[in-house]
Amino acid sequence: MNKHFAESELIINGDGSIFHLHVKPEQLADKIILVGDPGRVALVASHFDTKECEVESREFKTVTGTYKGKRITVTSTGIGCDNIDIVMNEIDALANIDFNTRMEKEHTRQLEIVRIGTCGGLQTYTPEGTFICSVKSVGFDGLLNFYQGRNAVCDLAMERALLNHLGWSGNMCAPAPYIIDADSELVERIAGDDMVLGVTVACGGFFGPQGRQLRIPLADPNQNEKIENFEYNGMKITNFEMESSALAGLSRLMGHKATTVCMVIANRRAGRANTGYKNQIDDLITLVLERI
């Protein structure tokens, strides 16, 4: 039996669009690019050959158009996994729930989602300007723990190994990390020789959770050193950002394909940052548009 969703659970605006994104079902493409910065939507859309709609609400800006014949939707998520919860549930509803009957559709429509972001590099081989495609994401954000099926899609053995390595217990740096794979076929198609395949930690903050200490000391002063040293089945943790875990996790649970590609704008080991990255990220956008 397909499910029916009450008005309070699936909030639809008077014009038939979904509550936060303000996008209507017919405006969503199967290929989706997510970016954090609303300003990056125009940069992606500047490559489009045609545009069919532009919608904006809060930090969520959306353009649907075509690139070399491919219909693509680009949407900004703002910062953080809490916003990914909104964006992923709303785009999945646009694709898989009938807005007239409020019933789940008979057949699941699978979406292909690539997040293009910025990140901090954690290894000597990930200096500023490196493009990293996330093969796995480590969630320091706790979002996936609110959904049933979390244990079935996460890498429980790697989670245990990381927790043992970090030595965190009780409420130190809680919630416990969850580890989730990106879609392997999508990773193979999106990542070329021009990208590092990486393990990305998505943090619930830019400062403390990423081991940045300004005036307030960290709960675990050795956090980043331990993260940089962690090795599991030949993999090392390569970068910090703030959305890839919830994106990979919710996509797996919903039956969509997803991965995250980021450009390193700060190398934490070298203590260097580059704030003039806006032109260079356009190169990453072009690679993704060609390969999605």
Provide φ and ψ at 103, rounded to 5°.
-105, 145
Q: Which is nearer to ligand URA, 246 or 266 (CB)?
A: 266
- Give least dist CB 206 to ligand URA, A: 5
Q: Which is nearer to ligand R1P, 35 or 173 (CB)?
A: 35
Calculate Rg over the CA atoms of the chain. 19
Tokens of 141: 């954000």
Can you give the binding site for ligand URA, defined by CB under 6 A?
118-120, 206, 210, 240-242, 265-266
Task: Identify what 250 binds: ligand URA, ligand R1P, none; CB under 5 to 8 Å per kind.
Answer: none
Q: Which is nearer to ligand R1P, 83 or 96 (CB)?
A: 83
3-state secondary structure 113-139: EEEEEEEEECCCCCCCCCEEEEEEEEE
Task: Identify what 210 binds: ligand URA, ligand R1P, none; CB under 5 to 8 Å per kind.
Answer: ligand URA
Q: Which is nearer to ligand R1P, 35 or 179 (CB)?
A: 35
- Give least dist CB 113 to ligand URA, A: 19
Task: Identify what 42 binds: ligand R1P, ligand URA, none; CB under 5 to 8 Å per kind.
Answer: none
Task: Identify what 204 binds: ligand URA, ligand R1P, none; CB under 5 to 8 Å per kind.
Answer: none
Q: Which is nearer to ligand R1P, 23 or 285 (CB)?
A: 285
- Give least dist CB 164 to ligand R1P, A: 27
